[in-house]
Amino acid sequence: MHIAIIYFTKGGVTRQLASAIAQGAINHSNITINTYEITGDDIVKGRFRHASLFSELDSADAIIFGSPTYMGSVAAQFKAFADASSEAWCEQRWAGKLAAGFTCGSAVNGEQTSTLGYLMTLASQHGMLWVGFDFGLDNFEGGVNRFGCSLGVVAHAPEGQAHSADLATANYLGKRVSSQLSRINRVTRPILTECEPIPR
Ligand SMILES: Cc1cc2nc3c(=O)[nH]c(=O)nc-3n(C[C@H](O)[C@H](O)[C@H](O)COP(=O)(O)O)c2cc1C
């Protein structure tokens, strides 16, 4: 099984979160993780172009989206990628894959949740299944999920450095996506190997 993590970063905080997610996800031995960083060079005349990346994403079982919060939403570079994903949307090539998201901001409440809301909308347009958190009242040890957001990872990084609690939250998201992927695989694999493919 294959998890793809795709994100944009300028100052590196989002990259630190992506790396913590990957470390959390890799605990499951049968899962491979690929991370992709969107760069300005991928955007030509305003259009994100990267055919081989989209082939990789088409073959992933889960895609985890990340962007810093810019003006209450994803950064323009991430949005250029999201707009280019409309080609995959036309054929619903990502339908049924798991999805999750992460973001950071320099303000405590800098509308990071709006960014996660956008990422969830993107995933839903693609027919993907969103994996949020499963924290109850007693699950905030060590400041994990210190902002109490259930949609995904919210980080606060005023000094350009990810906080250890937010890295722990990101690590947990990676674990959660990979364990959900393993669970789905366990449940569906025997059924899928016995059945004819369902025509769409
Ligand atoms: C153009 C721009 C807009 C930003 N808008 C917000 C915002 O709406 N809310 C917020 O909390 N931080 C905002 N920030 C701060 C970044 O989200 C923050 O510095 C983040 O940690 C950068 O992530 P990175 O290190 O991965 O690039 C903005 C920064 C820039 C450059």
Q: What is the ipTM of this complex?
A: 0.99
Q: Does the Cβ of 152 fall within 6 Å of ligand 1?
A: no
Which of ligand 1's atoms lies nearest the C-alpha of 72? Answer: 8
pLDDT at 143: 83
Please, is 105 exposed, middle or buried when counting C-beta atoms within 10 Å of its C-beta (0-12, 13-18, 19+)?
buried
Task: Say if 110 falls within a structural domain.
Answer: yes
Q: Would the pLDDT of 68 be above 50? A: yes
Task: Say if 177 falls within a structural domain.
Answer: yes
pLDDT at 192: 47
Counting the structural domains of the chain, the total is: 1
Task: Say if 102 falls within a structural domain.
Answer: yes
User: pLDDT grade, residue 127 (50/70/90)?
Assistant: very high
- Write the CATH number for 188: 3.40.50.360
Residue 93's alpha-carbon distances to 138, 144, 180, 194, 200, in angstroms, are: 38, 34, 20, 23, 12
**3-class DSSP state of 107:** coil
Instruction: Take atom 16 of ligand 1 and give the residue whose Cα is closest.
Output: 105
Task: Say if 111 falls within a structural domain.
Answer: yes
Burial 64-101 (b: 16+ CB within 10 A, else e): bbbbbbbeebbbebbbbbbebbeeeeeeebbeebbbbb
Per-residue model confidence as pLDDT tens digits over 9-25: 999 999 999 999 999 99
User: pLDDT grade, residue 137 (50/70/90)?
Assistant: confident
pLDDT at 191: 52
Task: Say if 200 falls within a structural domain.
Answer: no
The whole domain housing 169 covers 2-194
Which of ligand 1's atoms lies nearest the C-alpha of 10? Answer: 27
| Model pTM score | 0.94
Q: Cα(167) to centroid of ligand 1, in Å?
A: 17
Q: Cα(69) to centroid of ligand 1, in Å?
A: 5
Per-residue model confidence as pLDDT tens digits over 24-45: 999 766 899 999 999 999 999 9
Q: Does the Cβ of 69 fall within 6 Å of ligand 1?
A: yes
Which residue, 71, 69, 68, 64, is CA-closest to 97?
Answer: 64
Q: Does the Cβ of 24 fall within 6 Å of ligand 1?
A: no
Q: Does the Cβ of 58 fall within 6 Å of ligand 1?
A: no
User: pLDDT grade, residue 144 (50/70/90)?
Assistant: very high
Q: Cα(8) to centroid of ligand 1, in Å?
A: 11
* Residue appearing with tokens 């905030």: 140
**Residue to substitute in 104, 109, 111, 163 for testing ligand 1 pocket (most ligand atoms within 8 angstroms of CB):** 104
Q: Cα(71) to centroid of ligand 1, in Å?
A: 7
| Average pLDDT over every residue of 61-69 | 98
Which residue, 149, 151, 90, 101, is CA-closest to 125?
Answer: 90
Task: Say if 199 falls within a structural domain.
Answer: no
| Average pLDDT over every residue of 160-188 | 93
Task: Say if 103 falls within a structural domain.
Answer: yes
